[in-house]
Chains A and B, each alone.
Chain A
Amino acid sequence: MILKAKLFGKVYSFQSVMDVMAKANEEKSGDRLAGIIATSSEERVAAKVVLAQLTLEDLYNHPAVPYEEDEVTRIIIDDINQRAYNKIKHWTVEELREWLLATTTTDYDIKQIARGLTSEMIAAVAKLMSNLDLIYGAKKLLVTKTANTTIGEVGRFSSRLQPNHPTDDIDGIMASVMEGLSYGSGDALIGLNPVDDSTESVKRILTKFEEFRNEWEIPTQTCVLAHVKTQMEAMRQGAPTGLVFQSIAGSEKGNTAFGFNATDIAEAKHLALQQGQVVGPNVMYFETGQGSELSSDAHYGVDQVTMEARCYGFAKRFDPFMVNTVVGFIGPEYLYDSKQVTRAGLEDHFMGKLSGISMGCDICYTNHMKADQNDAENLLTLLGTAGVNFVMGIPHGDDVMLNYQTTGYHETATIREILNKRPTREFEQWMEKMGFMHEGKLTSLAGDASVFLKK
């Protein structure tokens, strides 16, 4: 293992594999805040040069957090297919990159090998990829998952309808649900971030969602994004739970800060399969985002791209229906501007797909970040091209509860039209039946929520 490289005659040496990983990252304010960023552009390239020649075995042997100390590391390592790993462990990261990008390498081929990749290997190869590499690489990777409906099929582009309300007013929430559905949003999920995290409140909203879904025979999933333990309690009390949600981190310490561990998630999944409303087999919904480990001081001095990849390694064990990287929510301390958000969105999507995850993205920004709606639309177009499974749908892109901006109902419809994509199969048929869509295009009824008031 060589941790030194010469660039323009100057020797750069690195302390460890994780030091190389951090410094090989594209510039992120979070890595600077953590004090692990490359000190110059040249040092960044030198780190990439070193990283390119590390073998996958080097990365296997140097996980971000030691195996003995961390549940997430154990899950990642223990879930590796050893036969697949042994086939590729002598590859360098450079070789992995070029094999993934080769025209002759298919989705089928990649899936054989991907079972032998740890999250650290996946993060490493992403660090050697340009933005277009990340798009091209991800585009090959088809990940389909089934709950009530199937997400991620070729030619499909889905969205989570996010009908948030500052006081959880049920009529206000349903107004957003109705309008979103008429635009074709919500085929991945109708999912509310509640203000009130109590079991009673979660039950009340889930029950309303399920009544409405039944009344209009809508082929989709629902979820109230309370803490996993609150959702479990709601399920035990008979709530018609759809997907079960939890925010996750790339280390056990980060997950502890979120108030759960792997056993809780396994139990929640079991409960959802037993008592939930969703057919499955995929019943879980996770959210992630670069920088969350650093914000809870659970990053172990490791860069935010590597920690993010580890979230997917953890998520994979529970075979989720969807994983959403909330890419610009955390603020400029971690992702400074639209350039860094764009890069992070493309990295996360690629890494998630290579991990075998049904990956989507909340393409968003806060008002103290140097970004605007044009930047969100740019990343949306890039991710649409890369084959992202789903994005968010919010009235006019403005979340009136979480006070940030993301993609609106209109964006889902626009990307479908530009890229010739459709909602999930069953949802598309439902839209045709309702008269909101005809041959993939919105009809004159689309955008009229009051269609649902007629009954």
Chain B
Amino acid sequence: MVDKQEMKAMIVSILEEMTDPSSTESATKVVEKPINKQEEATVKEATEEVLEDITQIDIRKQFLVPHPADREGYLKMKAKTPARLGLWRSGPRYKTQSMLRFRADHAAAQDAVFSYVSKDLIEEMDFIEVATKCKDKDEYVTRPDLGRQFDDENIATIQQQIKGTPQIQVIVGDGLSSAAIEANIKEILPSIKQGLKMFDLDYDEKAVLFIKHARVPAMDKIGELTKAEIVCYLIGERPGLVTAESMSAYLAYRPIVGMPEARRTVISNIHSGGTPAVEAGAYIAELVSKMLQHKKSGIDLKEVE
């Protein structure tokens, strides 16, 4: 039998072992000691240095296969595709660096969808802000029907703010990537304006609408409300892992609710790695002038060209 004293001593010793790492050394001594020593030797204050930005690595050139049969041939073939090739493995799993890069790219894509265009940008650009009937991002991604409709209050705002019947009405919509708007809008708007000048055309930069929770067909309702001749709609695309900053421009001649999709003219893939914003702006201006000339858009415009 263990008496009370002994029991107490035992409890004390167990508690000690649980809280004091030095008393548990016996079993793991051999392993722990050198590690501790090494730690002592290398413990340093955090420095101001920054780790390399893994998202800046060019995937087409990144090559992790240790002993390839033909390194040069591999790199040549890899340069032909944006696919994540030649990144090797640990066991059957991914290398840490390629796994982290994948996660970083996915994080950027998700953040682009579920974040909002900053208030500062909307103010700075002097946009007139309205919203569709979606109450939040969740409803936005699950209810495509609501992302094209406006309530009475927003309709009133649009009707009050857009005076007369504009020849060219510019709209900006967050769509599926707020990052796309943040990345491209400041460059593309002046470029469109500049481009339009060449055709003696213009749009009112004080009357640019910004739509929160916007789907593409929202432009049709704006067309009806403003009676604009051309609606030019810049909207964030569904992001992929290659870029989260891709924007599209949808243009239509006198769009109306329920019109066929084929009446839209679209320029997609507007981002620094695709069609740069400045270039896209010039192209949009040219399209606008053609649409005004032919009074058509989409497939109808293609047919007359």
Cβ proximity bits A373-403 to B, threshold 8 Å, 1 near / 0 not: 1000000000000000000001111101001
Cβ proximity bits B65-94 to A, threshold 8 Å, 1 near / 0 not: 101111101100110111111111101111
Residue of B68, B80, B81, B144 contacting most chain A CB atoms (<10 Å): B81
B77 pairs with A171, CB closer than 8 A: yes
B87 pairs with A453, CB closer than 8 A: no
Instruction: Say whether A447 faces chain B, with CB atoms less than 8 Å apart.
Output: yes
Cβ proximity bits A165-180 to B, threshold 8 Å, 1 near / 0 not: 1100101111110110
A368 pairs with B84, CB closer than 8 A: no
Cβ proximity bits B131-148 to A, threshold 8 Å, 1 near / 0 not: 000000000011110000
A396 pairs with B77, CB closer than 8 A: no
Residue of A172, A174, A368, A403 contacting most chain B CB atoms (<10 Å): A368
B80 pairs with A447, CB closer than 8 A: no
| B80 surroundings in chain A (CB, below 8 A) | 169, 171-172, 175
Instruction: Say whether B241 faces chain A, with CB atoms less than 8 Å apart.
Output: yes
Chain A residue at smallest Cβ distance from B65: A448
| A165 surroundings in chain B (CB, below 8 A) | 81, 83
| A173 surroundings in chain B (CB, below 8 A) | 81
A396 pairs with B87, CB closer than 8 A: yes
Pick from A317-325, A331-339, A344-352 the stretch touching chain B: A331-339
Pick from B31-39, B98-106, B296-304 the stretch touching chain A: B98-106
Chain B residue at smallest Cβ distance from A451: B69
A203 to B87, CA, bound (A): 31
Tell me whether A453 and B70 are in contact in the complex, defined as CB-CB below 8 angstroms, given that A172-B80, A448-B65 are known contacts: yes
B92 pairs with A453, CB closer than 8 A: no
A410 pairs with B92, CB closer than 8 A: yes
| A172 surroundings in chain B (CB, below 8 A) | 77, 80-81, 83
Residue of A331, A367, A400 contacting most chain B CB atoms (<10 Å): A367
| B242 surroundings in chain A (CB, below 8 A) | 400, 403
A453 pairs with B142, CB closer than 8 A: no
Instruction: Say whether A275 faces chain B, with CB atoms less than 8 Å apart.
Output: no
Cβ proximity bits A398-421 to B, threshold 8 Å, 1 near / 0 not: 101001110010100110010000
A373 pairs with B238, CB closer than 8 A: no
Interface size on A, residues (CB 8 A): 50
A29 to B105, CA, bound (A): 26
With both chains docked as a complex, state the minimum distance between the C-beta of A272 and any C-beta of chain B, in angstroms.
Answer: 29
| B67 surroundings in chain A (CB, below 8 A) | 444, 448
Cβ proximity bits B86-122 to A, threshold 8 Å, 1 near / 0 not: 1111011110001000110110011011000000000
Tell me whether A449 and B93 are in contact in the complex, defined as CB-CB below 8 angstroms, given that A179-B85, A367-B110, A395-B83 are known contacts: no
Chain B residue at smallest Cβ distance from A334: B142
Instruction: Say whether A366 faces chain B, with CB atoms less than 8 Å apart.
Output: yes
Cβ proximity bits B220-251 to A, threshold 8 Å, 1 near / 0 not: 00000000000000000011111010000000
B73 pairs with A396, CB closer than 8 A: no
A408 to B83, CA, bound (A): 11
Tell me whether A403 and B240 are in contact in the complex, defined as CB-CB below 8 angstroms, given that A331-B141, A396-B98, A450-B70 are known contacts: yes
Q: Which of A176, A332, A444 contacts B85 (CB 8 A)?
A: A176
| A448 surroundings in chain B (CB, below 8 A) | 65, 67-69, 74
Chain B residue at smallest Cβ distance from A398: B241
A410 pairs with B93, CB closer than 8 A: yes
B141 pairs with A400, CB closer than 8 A: no
A393 to B263, CA, bound (A): 38
A141 to B21, CA, bound (A): 54
| A331 surroundings in chain B (CB, below 8 A) | 141
Instruction: Say whether A10 faces chain B, with CB atoms less than 8 Å apart.
Output: no
A175 to B65, CA, bound (A): 14
With both chains docked as a complex, state the minimum distance between the C-beta of A337 and any C-beta of chain B, in angstroms.
Answer: 10
Show 9 residue pairs from A and B whose CB-CB distance is below 8 angstroms, ordered by the A residue.
Answer: A175-B77, A175-B85, A179-B85, A179-B86, A368-B141, A373-B102, A373-B106, A444-B67, A447-B65
Residues of B within 8 A of A (CB): 65, 67-71, 73-74, 77-78, 80-89, 91-94, 98, 102-103, 105-106, 109-110, 112-113, 141-144, 176, 238-242, 244
For the complex of A and B, list the 5 residue pairs with the smallest distance between their C-beta atoms, beginning with the closest.
Answer: A172-B81, A403-B240, A396-B84, A172-B80, A367-B109
Residues of A within 8 A of B (CB): 29, 32-33, 163-166, 169, 171-176, 178-179, 331-333, 336, 366-369, 372-373, 394-398, 400, 403-405, 408, 410, 413-414, 417, 442, 444, 446-451, 453-454
